[in-house]
Chains A and B, each alone.
Chain A
Amino acid sequence: MSAALQLDDVAIRFGGVQAVGGVSFSVEEGDFVGLIGPNGAGKTTLIKIIAGLLRPDKGRVQLSGVEVTADGTAARVRQGLALTHQIVRPFREMTVLDNVTLGAGYRHTSSPFRALMHLDRRRESERAAEIIAQVGLAGTERKLAGSLPLGQMKRLEVARALAVEPRVILLDEPLAGLNHTEASKQVEAIAAVHARGITVVLVEHNLEEVMRICRRLIVLNNGLVIGDGEPREVMADPVVHEAYIGGGMASHAEA
Chain B
Amino acid sequence: MSAYEISIISIIGINVILAVSLNMISGFCGQISIGHGAFFGTGAYAAALTMVGTGSVPLAILAALVTGSLLGLAVGFASLRVRTDFLAVTTIGVNFLFVGFVRKQAWLGGEMGISGIPATGFGPVGNMTMILLFAAATIALSLYISRSWMGFAFRAVGEDEGTAATLGINAGAYKLAAFGIGTALAGLAGCLYTFFTQFIAADAFDFIFSVMLMAMVVIGGIGSTWGVAVAAVGLTLLPEAIRFVNDYRLLVFGGLLVLVIRLAPSGLAGLVQKAFLAVRRS
**A→B interface (CB under 8 Å):** 51-53, 72-75, 77-78, 82-83, 85, 89-94, 98, 101-103, 105-106, 108-119, 121, 160-161, 163-164
Contact = CB atoms under 8 A, between A and B. Distances in A.
Which 9 pairs, one residue from A and one from B, show the smallest C-beta to C-beta distance?
Answer: A112-B177, A77-B168, A73-B165, A115-B149, A115-B150, A108-B149, A116-B150, A74-B170, A106-B168
B152 interface: yes
> Which of A53, A75, A102 is the most central at the interface, judged by chain B CB atoms within 10 Å of its CB?
A102
14 contacts: A72-B165, A72-B170, A74-B171, A83-B166, A91-B160, A101-B152, A102-B152, A106-B169, A109-B167, A116-B145, A119-B147, A121-B149, A160-B166, A160-B167
A134 to B, nearest CB: 17
B149 A161 contact: no
B148 A111 contact: no
Contacts of A113: 177
Contacts, number: 98
Contacts of B169: 74, 102, 106, 109
Q: How large is the interface on B (under 10, 10 to 19, 20 to 34, 35 or more residues)?
A: 20 to 34
Mostly helix, strand, loop or mixed at chain B's interface?
helix
Interface in B137-159: 144-145, 147-150, 152-153, 155-156, 159
B258 to A, nearest CB: 22
Contacts of B156: 91, 94, 102
B166 A119 contact: no
Interface of B: 144-145, 147-150, 152-153, 155-156, 159-160, 162-171, 173-174, 176-177
A103 B164 CA distance: 9
B141 to A, nearest CB: 10
Contact of B170 (A75, A94, A102): A75
